[in-house]
Each structure stands twice: as C-alpha cells, then as structure tokens.
Amino acid sequence: MPTLNVRDDSEKGDFIAEVRRKKALLKTGALQNAILTSANFSIIATDEKGVIQLFNPGAERMLGYAAAEVVNKINPSDIHDPQEVAARARALSLELATPITPGFDALAFKASRGIEDAYELTFIRKDGGRFPAIVSITALRDDYEDIIGYLLIGTDNSVRKQVETELHKAMAVAEKANLAKSDFLSSMSHELRTPLNAILGFAQLMESGSPLPTPSQQRSIGQILKAGWYLLDLINEVLDLALIESGTLSVSPESVSLAEVMHECETMIEAQALKRGIHVSFPEFDTAYLVKVDRTRLKQALINLLTNAIKYNCVAGTVVVTCIVDTPGRIRICVEDSGEGLSGEKLAQLFQPFNRLGQEMGGPEGTGIGLVTAKRLVELMDGKIGVESTVGKGSVFWIELNLTNERQHVIDTAESGTITPVQSQDGGQLRTVLYVEDNPANLMLVEDLVARHSDIHLLSATDGNKGIEIARASLPDMILMDINLPGISGIQALKILREDTATAHIPVVALSGNALPRDIKKGLEAGFFHYLTKPINVNEFMKTLDATLKFAKTVQGRPPPP
Ligand code: MN
C-alpha cells in the first residue's frame, strides 16, 4: 500500500474541501444567480414559441426595457433590426434549402436543429437607439429532449466595432500615404533623370564625336561621365530603398537558373575587378540549380555583395564565390573576400541604412544602403542573407535561397521587343524615325545621335497630338515616344496610334524618365515595343533603334492587325 506523506494528505484535504464548496454553490443557486443578475450580459429566455419569459438586469440595462414590459409580451426578434432579421432569414433559407420566415424563426432555427449558433446583429433599444450585439442562442430541452424554450446570451459589441472602424480608417490613411509616397518617388525619379539625361547624353556624344576630343578634354569628359553614372546609381539606390520601406516594391518570383544568373553577374563585375586588381573566382556549375526568385532582384543583391567584396578588399586580394546545398531544398551562395574583416560591433551595424562603418570620412564611395536593400530583397524572395567575418582575414557574405523543381520560365520574345544588335545598316535605304519629346535638351541629344547615321531621317514633335498628326501624315518606320508630355501622355498617344489602322503597325518605343519597375511594366502592358529609360545609354539606344527598324522592315506590307 502506498504511503502518503504529510504534504499529499493536506493536498487531498484541499481537494475534498473544494468539491464540497462547488456542490454547495450549485445547490444554493448562488452561481446561477450571479450569472443571471450580471449587468454585463443580456440574458433572455423564451418559451418554445419564442415569447420572452426571462429578461435579466443586463438585458434591462442594455435595452432600456424593464422586465415587466417585455415578459409574456414580445419576442426577441422585436428587439432586433427587422431588415437584418429578414436578411438572415433569406440567407438561412438558401443555406439550409428550407423556407424560413423572417421573425423569431430566423433567430432560433439553427438552435432548434441542435446546431451551435452565434450571430452578430443590431439590437434596438426602447428609446430607438441601436448598437451591435453578439448573440449566442441555445435551445432549452426537458428530460425527454423536447424543446421547452430558448436562451439568448448577448454582449454589447460597440467598443470592438468602434476599434475596428478606427483601425480600418487608420489603415486607409496609411495606404493613401503610401501611395502618395510612391507617386512622389516616381515623379522625383523622373525629375532627377531628365537633367541627368542631358549631362550623360551630351558627354557620351562628345566622347565619341568628330573631331575626337583632345586627351585633356577626354579626361574631363571621363570625369563628367563617371560622376553622372554614379549619381544615377545613387538615385536608383535611394529610390529602391524608399520603395521597399514604403512596402510598394513587389518582386515577381519565378523559376530561374542560378548558374545563368551567376554567369551574368560574372560578366557584369569583370571590368570592375580587373580595374582594382582583384581576382574573382566563380564556381563551375554541373547543374542549373533552379531557384524561385525575381531574376533582376536576385542579380541586384548578388552584384551588391560582389561589388562590396571587390571594393572593400586588400591590394591584389581575392574574392571566392561558392555554392553549397547543405539543407535539402536550400542553396547557399557564399562570397568570400580577403579584406580587413569586420569586428562584432561593426557586424551588428551592417544591415542598417546609411551606416558606412566609419567609411564616412572618405574611402570607397557609397551610401551604405546597398546591403540593406539586398537584405530586404532577399527576404522578399523568402531567402536569408548573412555574414561571418574574422578581423584581419576577411568576410563571407552569404545568401540562402529556396531551390525549386518548377521548369524555368521562358521569356516570350515575340512581343517584348528583345534587342538583338544589328551591325550593318540595310543597303543605304532611308528610314524615318519620329521622336515625340517636349524637353529641348533631350530632343537635341537624339537629333545629334541620329545625325551620325546618314540612313536615318529624324522627324520631331513636341507634344502627343502633334506627334499623332505627323505620324499619320508621314508614316515613319518607328516612333520614339516620351511619356510625360504636355496635353495627352505618351501612353494615350500610343493608344490612339494603335487604334488607327494607318499607324497601328508602327513600332513605338518609349523613352522616358519614369524608370520605376512599375512604370516600365505599365508601359510594356500598354503596348510599347520597347521601353528605354533616361538617361540614355548611347550604345543601348542605338542597338534598340537598329533592332526596332529591322523589326519594322519585317512588318511592312503585312496587313495591319485588326
Ligand atoms: Mn517630358
């Protein structure tokens, strides 16, 4: 027989006492009384037909009736909003495929079938005041399981409703503010790009102009171009981060070959590494490693890590890129440098914006927001980013991504106007290009660029309506279209040209300072053959011009699309 120690004995004693207390409580009805007289719940009991038999103090307080005014006189549906009761009857009739009459039936039908039921409806007070209530309704049964009445327990839901409404309002305001911020960023981006377009465009023109600039002029032009492109990088970085922080940057993940992306990154950073004398090694891929990412955004994050590894390295240092699959379904890309390494304190500050880890006083240039952006982008794609570092030895930055089995997304090149450069011009045939642009400096720049190609004849218009007029009159081979134009926008002008059978076949290329991804997406969806952003990169611009003219030649003589 188990022996009980003293402590067990006393616990046992406590338990017995508690059971006794509970029994006493139920017997005297003290518990029922406390519940029934509670001022915080309205408790209404009815007979089996729905006539009110009990109306507790809580119900009196909430609804403003004295019990004597309602008991044996009305039924609970009389204190509900009649339209809501009717709507509930209709909804229940549909749900249960039985006709249910508006009135008490609509409230009690489910409970009468033994279905647990709680609903949210409006109570109407004696003085006509209204408030939202949550009501739970149960059927009361006798020992033979026959229904003898119904019990309705209601609570006032106004406070919660009010909080909900406030919350919705606050969310709508925040949403509106976010949209305003995003619009502001979009227009700021445009405003900053327009003057940069002139600076970079004319500098590129002078760099390759005839007569060629003298070596000293060449150096000056080089400085203008370097500063200009750097300024453009900064604008892009700041805009990206601002978009991420306002929650308006979206990524579109798809199945992408990591091997391909890494190869593209390798090409992109080659020159930079060479200039700084840094040796960069990439892994050999024996398989494509498909990852679920936004291709452009992954490249952006990787380029950021690679650029940092090159920038913050020692003289003649090395960067080693490796890919490891150690967790199933995940792949880790590591970028290891041979730089100074980072102390624990610096590591802690690393992924914070505008923190350049003591590089503020010179050293390599940058805003220090690249890593923050990379982190947010990787996280938006369900990945992870991190760093391990040893002072005096170097750092390893890594990105971990989800592998996928989905087939790689193949870009439909038929309509998107992918550029394939053409070297030779077609047998001296004169081609006409119409440029619709309101900014005189941009217009002059394109005129000067095109002037180098004797086989291209340039027409111009300074607003959309004039552009359409000239397009109809002279049917150019292609049209270059600014988007922000006085009067109708470039997108509206495109629409009109598309709807006119005479001009529908002419490829229209957008050339705009609206350079946010959503602007470009909107433009391509509107039907632009290609979307070029300002500032103009002369090489890209000429390639696009050549490719579009080549395309225009193939559609000539073809019947216009319906
Ligand atoms: Mn404009």
Residue 318: its pLDDT value, please?
Answer: 96
Q: CA nearest 48: which of 145, 139, 149?
A: 149
Using the 8-state DSSP alphabet, how is residue 367 labeled?
Answer: -
Q: How far is the CA of 513 from the centre of ligand 1 (A)?
A: 8
Q: What are phi and psi of 236, to 5 degrees?
A: -65, -45
Q: What's the pLDDT tens digit per position in 57-66?
A: 999 999 999 9
Name the class of domain 417-555. Answer: alpha beta
Half-sphere exposure of 364 (CA within 13 A, CB side): 13
Topology of domain 162-245, per CATH? Helix Hairpins (1.10.287)
Using the 8-state DSSP alphabet, how is residue 247 labeled?
Answer: T
- What average pLDDT does this structure show over 304-330? 92
Q: How far is the CA of 469 from the centre of ligand 1 (A)?
A: 18
Residue 410: its pLDDT value, please?
Answer: 55
Q: How far is the CA of 177 from the centre of ligand 1 (A)?
A: 26
Count CB atoms within 10 A of the CB of residue 394. 23
Name the class of domain 254-402. Answer: alpha beta
Count CB atoms within 10 A of the CB of residue 224. 16
Q: How far is the CA of 7 from the centre of ligand 1 (A)?
A: 88
538-555 vs 440-451: helix crossing angle, rounded to 10:
70
Long-range residue pairs from 348-356, CB within 8 A, at least 24 positions apart, any chain: 350/387, 351/375, 351/385, 353/241
In sequence order, which ranges of 312-412 are alpha helices (DSSP H)? 344-349, 370-380
Neighbours of ion ligand 1 (CB under 5 A): 438, 482, 484
Whether the pLDDT of residue 486 is over 70: the answer is yes
Q: How far is the CA of 434 from the centre of ligand 1 (A)?
A: 15
Q: How far is the CA of 462 from the centre of ligand 1 (A)?
A: 9
Alpha carbon of 52 to those of 59, 104, 200, 248, 514: distances in Å?
12, 11, 84, 55, 68
Residue 428: its pLDDT value, please?
Answer: 60
Q: What is the mean pLDDT of the chain?
A: 85
Whether the pLDDT of residue 5 is over 70: the answer is no
Topology of domain 37-156, per CATH? Beta-Lactamase (3.30.450)
Where along the chain do its domains lie?
Answer: 1-33, 37-156, 162-245, 254-402, 417-555
Q: CA nearest 509: which of 458, 556, 549, 559?
A: 549
Query: Which pairing describes strands 130-141 and 530-533: parallel, antiparallel, or unpaired?
Result: unpaired
Q: Take residue 425 and report the two structure tokens written for it.
A: 């011009």
Q: How far is the CA of 484 from the centre of ligand 1 (A)?
A: 4
Q: CA nearest 107: which of 181, 50, 26, 171?
A: 50
Whether the pLDDT of residue 562 is over 80: the answer is no
3-state DSSP assignment of residue 117: strand
Residue 427: its pLDDT value, please?
Answer: 53
Residue 371: its pLDDT value, please?
Answer: 87
Alpha carbon of 85 to those of 78, 80, 90, 102, 120: distances in Å?
10, 7, 9, 6, 11
| Count of positions (residues) in the chain | 562
Q: CA nearest 532: which of 554, 552, 549, 548?
A: 548
Q: Give me the residues paired with residue 319 across strands.
A: 280, 337
Residue carrying the six token digits 């106007």: 417
Split at pLDDT 50, 70, 90, the class of 355 is low
Euclidean distance between CA atoms 152 and 119, whole angstroms? 11
- What average pLDDT does this structure show over 521-533? 93
Q: What's the pLDDT tens digit per position in 71-97?
A: 999 999 999 999 999 999 999 898 888
- Whether the CB-CB separation of 320 and 281 falls below 8 Å is answered with yes
Task: Measure CA 199 to chain center.
Answer: 33
Q: How far is the CA of 444 from the centre of ligand 1 (A)?
A: 13
Q: How far is the CA of 175 from the centre of ligand 1 (A)?
A: 29
Question: Residues 6 or more apart from 548 whose CB is under 8 A from it?
Answer: 417, 478, 507, 509, 529, 530
